[in-house]
Structure 1
Amino acid sequence: MATFALIHGGGGSAWDWHLLEPELRDRGHDAVAVSLPVEDESAGLLDYADAVVAAVGGRRDLVVVAHSWGGFVGPLVCARTPADLLVLVTAMIPAPGEPPSGWWGNTGFGSKDMSDPIGLFLHDVPKDVAEELLTRSRNHAGKAMGEPWPLEAWPDVPTRFLLCRDDRFFTPDFMRGVVRDRLGITPDEIDGGHAPMLARPKELADRLEGYLTGRS
């Protein structure tokens, strides 16, 4: 049995994982979804990581799963508590000293029309779930967005990247390049858009479990 620590993306909360958690538990695993203190003006990136570590407690056989903006937090968790695996799900990959606010320009992300968040992020998520997610969106305080990523190097933990082939925000061609340049690996791929934990929770759970069994 593994413990999956589930780290949400920008503006999200633990609720983002509510469809994936039972899928993992049905497979005999534990799942801990954490709401990062994103609205706390005093909280920095290490505080975010500490919130995850505290929620995990003494659980062992830890798999850290970080979605989207949570890519800035997942490696910090792995540097602060023993983890067997880090899985980045269509996530930002930080570089040492890089603030989250600098990632966009440093990677050449460009700009996106944000006027239709469902069409951009949630086009394959059931309508009622997508609408509920938007009502739960939270604003990020500035400290963690602007402070340098504190690690000097990537943590010494096996890392997988799961790319979403139909992602309209972090598009596949763009992210393949980022993964190659920053991690030096080839990403794994799954069908669907930017939020597979809400659109394809069973398939995502199969992939995550497959990393443990060698089927992925």
Structure 2
Amino acid sequence: MAGFVLVHGAGDVGWYWHLVEAELRARGHEVVSPDLPCDDDSAGLPEYVDAVVGAVGELRDLVVVAHSFGGLTGPLVCERVGARLLVLTAPMIPVPGEAPNDYWANTRYEEEQSSYEDTVALFYQDVPPELAAEAMRRAPDQSVARMGEPSPLQAWPDVPTRVLLFRDDRVFTPAFLRRVAEERLGIVPDEMDGGHCAALSRPSELADRLEAYAAEQGLVR
């Protein structure tokens, strides 16, 4: 079976994936979902990658799944661990050498973003209230100390890549992600229902998608 490496987004922890992880484990897969050093001012993308690679251990037949800001980490992880597949969910999609701080202007994000003052309304509008509250309780402060550093990404990894958007996402709207995925990767995203944090609102459906992607690569027997 596949080894799933689940990478969370900014200001978050591996707990974000716990329901999807349980679904995948119940189907016989191996899964890791490490915490990244989001609140460490000394940590940048290289340290995020180190944290993920250190968690992989002896896992093989790897599917790297990266959510939101994790899209900046996922491609770098693939280069280090020999991944068989990269899946980006509601992602930021970097280009080589791009600093995280530059992403917003470079992708013309403000042109397609609506304003939501409430964190729940923006990130968790379809997540059960108790899960949304727990997610916010666990969320570390996201350090921005090294966001101006260029990404060490030199080229997109030579690995099959899928982009999955969520139709009700208010952070990276479907129109925005369709455009960016086409401009940067030449990929038409797949789509499923759900808001930005679909791993909490629709874990079974998301696990179905991830397992199906792995099966397409011959990683599910």
TM-score range, shorter chain: over 0.9
**What is residue 123 of structure 2 aligned with on the other side?**
121
> Could you list the per-position Cα deviations for residues 139-175 of structure 1 after superposition, in whole angstroms to 9, with x for gaps in the alignment?
2223442210112210111100001011111110111
Amino acid at match of 1:164: F
> Could you list the per-position Cα deviations for residues 77-121 of structure 1 after superposition, in whole angstroms to 9, with x for gaps in the alignment?
001111000000010001111111110111010155342111111
| TM-score, normalised via structure 1 length | 0.96
- Counterpart of 2:166 (choices 160, 164, 167) is 164
Amino acid at match of 2:36: L
Distance 1:101 1:94 in 2: 11
**What is residue 67 of structure 2 aligned with on the other side?**
67
Answer with 103-112 or 78-87: which moved more. 103-112
- The alignment-based identity, stated in percent, is 57
- Superposition misfits of 4+ residues, deviation over 6 angstroms: none
**What is residue 3 of structure 1 aligned with on the other side?**
3
Q: Secondary structure at the match of 1:163?
A: strand
Distance 2:67 2:178 in 1: 16
> Aligned runs of 1:20-99 on 2, under 5 Å?
20-99=20-99
**What is residue 154 of structure 1 aligned with on the other side?**
156
Q: Secondary structure at the match of 1:168?
A: coil
Q: Secondary structure at the match of 2:109?
A: coil
Distance 2:215 2:142 in 1: 36
Amino acid at match of 2:16: D
Amino acid at match of 2:190: D
Distance 2:119 2:61 in 1: 36
RMSD: 1.3
Distance 1:213 1:58 in 2: 21
Q: Secondary structure at the match of 2:76?
A: helix
Q: Is 1:138 the counterpart of 2:113 in the alignment?
A: no
Q: Is 1:183 the counterpart of 2:181 in the alignment?
A: no
> Could you list the per-position Cα deviations for residues 19-73 of structure 1 after superposition, in whole angstroms to 9, with x for gaps in the alignment?
1111001111011001001111211211110110100112101100000000000
Task: State the 1:128 CA deviation.
Answer: 0.5
> Could you list the per-position Cα deviations for residues 165-200 of structure 1 after superposition, in whole angstroms to 9, with x for gaps in the alignment?
111111101110000001101111111110111000
Q: Secondary structure at the match of 1:145?
A: coil
Q: Is 1:106 the counterpart of 2:106 in the alignment?
A: yes
| TM-score, normalised via structure 2 length | 0.94
Amino acid at match of 2:132: A
Amino acid at match of 2:128: P
Distance 2:10 2:115 in 1: 17
**What is residue 201 of structure 1 aligned with on the other side?**
203
Q: Secondary structure at the match of 2:168?
A: coil
Which segments of 5 or more consecutive residues in structure 2 lack a partner in the other structure?
Answer: none
Answer with 112-121 or 165-174: which moved more. 112-121
Distance 1:131 1:61 in 2: 35
